[in-house]
Amino acid sequence: MESLLKMLPTMIRLSGDNEEVREQAAFAAWRAAAGKGVAGGCAPFRLYEKQLVIAVLDQFWKKQLESLSAQYLFRINSLLGAQMVTFIEFRLDRDFVLQAQGHQARAYEFQHTEELAAELKESAEQIKDADLREQFLRAAAKSLERA
């Protein structure tokens, strides 16, 4: 993978600065710059002019990635060998991220007692913010599965 990344500037130049090649190169550079740990929460969506759009799972991912965007810009452009990306937009699009990763959106399943599941669902209904409610249910479901 490392040698392929080193070839990105050459591939872009040899393509005649083809828009599709630039986009795929930017996507590859993003994945390398972000690393595997970040890859689970986002997916490259589009390169428009010099703006890279990254889809993210939720508001938490968006906020965290935005705080690191200057570092990501530097890494991406270093890999591309030129300033091909001048701005990264992090856009909430959970469905796109899951689809890009080959996942299907799934319902939250509580595999423990009915009383606990009912209590969690009741608590979740009181959370007015839809993103926060979804994060709460995901965290609760994962926690219950580990128990």
Model pLDDT, residue 134: 74
Model pLDDT, residue 143: 63
Burial class from Cβ neighbours inside 10 Å (0-12, 13-18, 19+) for residue 1 reads exposed
The interaxial angle of helices 130-146 and 114-125, nearest 10 deg, is: 160
Give the model confidence (pLDDT) of 1-23 as tens digits.
456 778 888 888 888 878 898 99
Cβ atoms of residues 53 and 89 within 8 Å = yes
Pairing of the two strands 51-56 and 87-92 = parallel
pTM over 0.85: no
CATH of range 2-100; options 3.10.310.30, 3.40.640.10, 3.40.50.300, 3.30.300.180: 3.30.300.180
Cβ atoms of residues 134 and 105 within 8 Å = no
Model pLDDT, residue 104: 46
Cβ atoms of residues 66 and 90 within 8 Å = yes
Residues 6+ apart with CB under 8 A from 144: 110, 111, 112, 116
Tokens 């993210």 identify what position?
56
Give the model confidence (pLDDT) of 45-99 as tens digits.
999 999 999 999 999 999 999 999 999 999 999 999 989 999 999 999 999 998 9
Model pLDDT, residue 113: 45
Give the model confidence (pLDDT) of 88-147 as tens digits.
999 999 999 989 888 544 444 544 445 556 667 777 777 777 777 777 777 776 665 555
Among 63, 57, 64, 60, which residue's Cα sits nearest to residue 41?
Answer: 57
Q: What is the rounded average pLDDT of the residues 29-50? A: 91
Pairing of the two strands 42-48 and 51-56 = antiparallel
